[in-house]
């Protein structure tokens, strides 16, 4: 089965049809910059553009969002327009796209993909996936089962949200070298490990492609194993497609 997965991020919106049996995108992904302001109507226009490229992919669309998502409704919106807060995104996108839209937190979607098909496959205990991008997303699994909508990117580090110190965006904005930024990420992971004692931490987001530049620094600061995401920056849209496929499956 091929399902269209859409990953809404603070800087870009990505989408591709995904073979849900193996999690491999069936075509080259499309990426369009997140509009500014990133209102629901503006974002819907971008998603429509991507969906039109893959018009031969039917069925529901899986869509991630960088915030807390419950029953298709958005409850927080840290890095996008505040108009999303308390917004019924699933109903809105379903109407705009003319097909069912299944909404999920972006890090949760990436975590689902990594747990089923990537670095977390077959791992029991507590597994945490952290996505380092415009902000910091988190997904927590206990014996393979998702604990949804965690927001560890807002954990306080030195009086600030962790994502304002250790996100990939901050590394670029402050022109931090890998050593300094790796230390910030390590401090964050160390604090998180102290609080929930995970058995594995997976680092995702586009920066996971350059894991060799900073993960040794992070690993040197914590005892828990820290590994890069295997699906890298594709994990979000793959996870969205997997969740939408479950929606489409017969009861």
Question: Which positions ≥6 away from 79 have C-beta within 8 Å?
Answer: 10, 66, 134, 135
> Are the C-beta atoms of residues 81 and 74 closer than 8 Å to each other?
no
Phi/psi at 77 (5° precision): -155, 75
| CATH assignment, 2-105+236-248 | 3.30.420.40
248 pLDDT exceeds 80?
no
What share of the chain in percent tops pLDDT 90? 90
Measured in Å, how far apart are the chain's first and last C-alpha atoms?
16
Is the pTM higher than 0.85? The answer reads: yes
Asked if 168 and 205 count as a contact pair (C-beta separation under 8 A), the reply is yes
Query: Is the pLDDT reported for residue 223 higher than 70?
Result: yes
Q: How far apart are CA 162 and CA 184, in angstroms?
A: 9
CATH superfamily for 119-230 is: ATPase, nucleotide binding domain (3.30.420.40)
pLDDT above 80 for 35: yes
Give the per-residue pLDDT at 250. 57
**Domains 2-105+236-248 and 119-230 in one fold:** yes
pLDDT, residue 10, reads: 87
Per-residue pLDDT, 6: 98
Label residue 1 by pLDDT band (50, 70, 90).
Answer: confident
Whether residue 163 has pLDDT greater than 70: yes
Position 57 confidence tier, pLDDT thresholds 50, 70, 90: confident
pLDDT digits (tens, 9 = 90+) for 118-155: 999 999 999 999 999 999 999 999 999 999 999 999 99
Compute the 3-state secondary structure of the chain and give helix, strand, coil in percent, each to the nearest 5.
Answer: 40, 25, 35
Mean pLDDT score across all residues of the chain:
95
More confident residue, 231 or 251: 231
- For 67-117, how does the pLDDT look when each residue is reduced to its tens digit (9 = 90+)? 999 999 999 998 899 999 999 999 999 999 999 999 999 999 999 999 999
More confident residue, 250 or 208: 208
Q: Could you read off the pLDDT of 181-199 as tens digits, one per residue?
A: 999 999 999 999 999 999 9
In this prediction, residue 176 carries a pLDDT of: 98
Please report the pLDDT score of residue 247 as a whole number.
Answer: 84
Domain spans of the chain, in order of start:
2-105+236-248, 119-230
């Amino acid at each position: 089965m091929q399902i269209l997965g859409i990953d809404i991020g603070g800087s870009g919106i990505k989408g591709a049809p995904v073979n849900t049996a193996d999690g491999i995108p069936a075509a080259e992904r499309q990426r369009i910059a997140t509009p500014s302001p990133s209102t629901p109507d503006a974002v819907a226009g971008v998603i429509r553009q991507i969906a039109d490229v893959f018009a031969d992919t039917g069925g529901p669309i899986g869509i991630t969002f960088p915030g807390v998502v419950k029953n298709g409704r958005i409850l927080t919106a840290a890095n996008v327009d505040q108009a999303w807060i308390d917004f019924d995104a699933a109903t809105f996108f379903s109407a705009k796209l003319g097909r069912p839209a299944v909404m999920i937190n972006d890090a949760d979607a990436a975590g689902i993909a990594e747990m089923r098909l990537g670095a977390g496959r077959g791992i029991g205990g507590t597994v945490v996936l952290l996505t380092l991008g415009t902000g910091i997303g988190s997904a927590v699994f206990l014996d393979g089962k998702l604990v949804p909508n965690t927001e560890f990117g807002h954990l306080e580090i030195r009086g600030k949200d962790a994502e304002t110190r250790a996100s990939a965006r901050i590394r670029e904005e402050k022109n931090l070298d890998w050593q300094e930024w790796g230390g910030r990420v390590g401090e964050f992971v160390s604090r998180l490990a102290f609080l929930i004692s995970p058995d594995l931490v997976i680092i995702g987001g586009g920066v996971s492609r350059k894991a060799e530049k900073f993960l040794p620094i992070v690993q040197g600061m914590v005892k828990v194993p820290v590994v890069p995401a295997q699906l890298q920056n594709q994990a979000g849209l793959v996870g969205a497609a997997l969740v939408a496929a479950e929606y489409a499956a017969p009861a």
